[in-house]
Structure 1
């Protein structure tokens, strides 16, 4: 049986997965809402052979991949060209120093999230599950309904594509690269990618993915790969008001109909 407590417990994990899959908060909330409808419709099929979170993740991944054309897809070459064409300049003194740092962090997280959108949808989902959330290959293969060996191969390809791009483009990885967060933030604001009055990623959060993840994959051998992974794992873990979400979800007309059956 689905109740408010269950929704409030697992919604943060589903929302944080959704946000990294689709980038925009509104799309992430819509995706999690659709996932909960699927969960409620199919809860009778949950056999408890795996954790509820694993089962819910599998529903979200399947739904996302089936609806992938709804969501933004970027490409590495065009993404690099866009960033390289932005003027390098420092933020003006109209912002005080603490707020400047917040804006730079917004630019950094937004840019890194944009890089995820350059992976094809399956690669993106596999890298988020396997590297950023560090869910081990036994559970990850169950989420994607593929063999452990196939999951590891797909993860390796996704990791290589993203990490090679970052190594050639991002100064967080290679300091020789010219694309630096603090020098691109002003241009990102001017182009409308960042709204100082309505920030997408740094407005409110209480934790990081690194502190929240509970399962670990096999340790990575290469120090450089650990650096890429740590950058993403230090991104915020968002805690929306789950009580409001649960209340609105349980008022949903589709869900009311399911409960009435």
Structure 2
């Protein structure tokens, strides 16, 4: 998932500032996307991304196999997010699938006819969908959450994910099965994007989300563009066409590739010989 050019890594280890900046920029986006899906809030994900990028930079000198730099960086990111990162603001809500389902059943309201032709409403609906799917994963503990993200969202193989998490493939498969079963059961029962039987629809949650301050009309916490032609309704149609076992993963993979400017902040703090440190 993180791809680092071995030549750039080697140059960075030798003190080449430009190469070091290239390594940081190459790692930033995949690290941020993993962190956001693990923590469900952009500010927490940005903090975690900065911490992880600094770890990658300061430990480049300890890397033994530069050809495997991407997997090594992923191990640093996953270890940090699972074992070391402090509790995020969404995690602090101690969400459970049962409580989340009850919350989704409250405050549903229809939107006006034709409202989905309005750009601000389209953005609001997409914001609800992204925020809900990110928070949904927080109902899993960190070990199951990272297993689900690596396997079903980022589509690493069992062997790749097990290597990143530094556990056996058998142990990884067990975690993935548990996570997948819990997530699939929840979305089939509670998410209208996945099941026609579920009452909740993203557009029906807009009024409640605005009233609670979770979204602000015309703004996006997640940096969304509000392209309604490929938004929630299109995702819903695509997801429902799939067999049940594949719908949950398709829903979570429908979230965009999020971007940040954390690489620039990290680069500004780099010392010329930062890559040589192993502390």
TM-score class normalised by the smaller sequence? 0.7 to 0.9
1:89 equivalenced with 2:110 (yes/no): yes
Once the two structures are TM-superposed, the CA of residue 103 in structure 1 deviates from its matched residue by: 1.2
Q: Which has the higher contact order (CA 8 A, sep 6+)?
A: 2
Secondary structure of the equivalent of 2:47? helix
What corresponds to 1:123 in structure 2? Answer: 144
Pairs within 5 Å for 1:182-221: 182-204=203-225
Unaligned runs of 5+ in 1: 209-221
For 1:75 and 1:148, how far apart are their aligned partners in 2? 27
| Partner residue of 2:43 out of 26, 34, 40 | 26
Match of 2:220, SS?
coil
1:169 matched residue in structure 2: 190
1:128 is displaced (CA, Å) by 0.6
Deviation at 1:66, TM superposition (A): 2.0
3-state secondary structure, aligned to 1:237 = coil
Superposition RMSD in Å: 2.6
From 40, 53, 58, the counterpart of 2:70? 53
- What is the total number of aligned residue pairs between the two structures? 242
Cα distance, 1:44 vs structure 2: 1.8
The equivalent residue for 1:215 is: none
CA displacement, residues 23-46 of structure 1 (integer Å, 9 cap, x when unaligned): 111111111111112112211221
Q: Which stretch of structure 1 is more off in the superposition, 62-71 or 83-92? A: 83-92
**Residue 228 in 1 paired to residue 248 in 2?**
yes
TM-score (norm 2): 0.78
Matches of 2:225 and 2:20, distance apart in 1: 26
State the shift of 1:53 in Å: 2.4
CA contact (8 A) 2:24 2:267 kept: no
- Paired with 2:225 and 2:127, the residues of 1 have a C-alpha distance of 11
Measure how far apart 1:4 and its partner are.
Answer: 1.0
With normalisation by structure 1, the TM-score equals 0.83
Mark the runs of 5 or more structure 2 residues left unpaired by the alignment. 1-11, 13-18, 231-241
Q: Which residue of 1 aligns with 2:9?
A: none
